[in-house]
Amino acid sequence: MIISYLVPVVLVVMLIAASIRILPEYKRGVVFFLGRYQKVKGPGLVIVIPAIQKMEVVDLRVITMDVPEQDVISQDNVTVKVNAVLYFRVVDPEKAIIQVENFTQATSQLAQTTLRSVLGET
């Protein structure tokens, strides 16, 4: 008799525990409801219904990334190695998650391409 009451109570407690998320001040959560964009949740306590809602967390702090070394031959046939560091931060979490599959990798690839383009002009 007690077990028949205990099982639903345990399941409800587990569901509530799985649905509570806490976001720090520097992160935002992009919430999808059954696969569709719903809204961006701010810092603090966030409730996400498991199996119905999904939340992707985005860090809004400045991210530093090392751009791989690029070899260039100058006009006077001198080999030059150029290394760069990339600093970026996410301004719009919705666009970063929805419009780009992996925004950190895309930013790194764009930085490498831009560096090669600038070095090719000089």
Which residues neighbour 103 within 8 Å (Cβ) at sequence distance 6 or greater?
A: 90, 96, 97
- Using alpha carbons, select from 58, 56, 57, 45 the residue that is nearest to residue 16: 45
> pLDDT under 50 in the chain at which residues?
none
d(CA 86, CA 107): 9
Boundary of a domain, candidates 59, 81, 106: 59
One domain, residues 55 and 87: no
Q: What local confidence, expressed as pLDDT, does residue 120 receive?
A: 77
One domain, residues 50 and 71: no
Q: What local confidence, expressed as pLDDT, does residue 71 receive?
A: 85
d(CA 74, CA 82): 12
H or E element that contains 29: strand 27-33
Please state the pTM of the whole predicted model: 0.78
One domain, residues 76 and 50: no
One domain, residues 66 and 30: no
H or E element that contains 68: strand 63-73
- Provide the residue range defining the domain that includes 47: 1-59
DSSP for 30-84, written as a single string: EEEETTEEEEEE-SEEEE--TTTEEEEEEE-S-EEEEEEEEEEE-TTS-EEEEEE
Q: What local confidence, expressed as pLDDT, does residue 70 receive?
A: 85
The burial of 93, by beta-carbon neighbours within 10 Å (0-12 exposed, 13-18 middle, 19 or more buried), is given as: buried
d(CA 61, CA 87): 10
In the chain, the number of structural domains is 2
Query: Structure tokens of 104?
Result: 């950190």
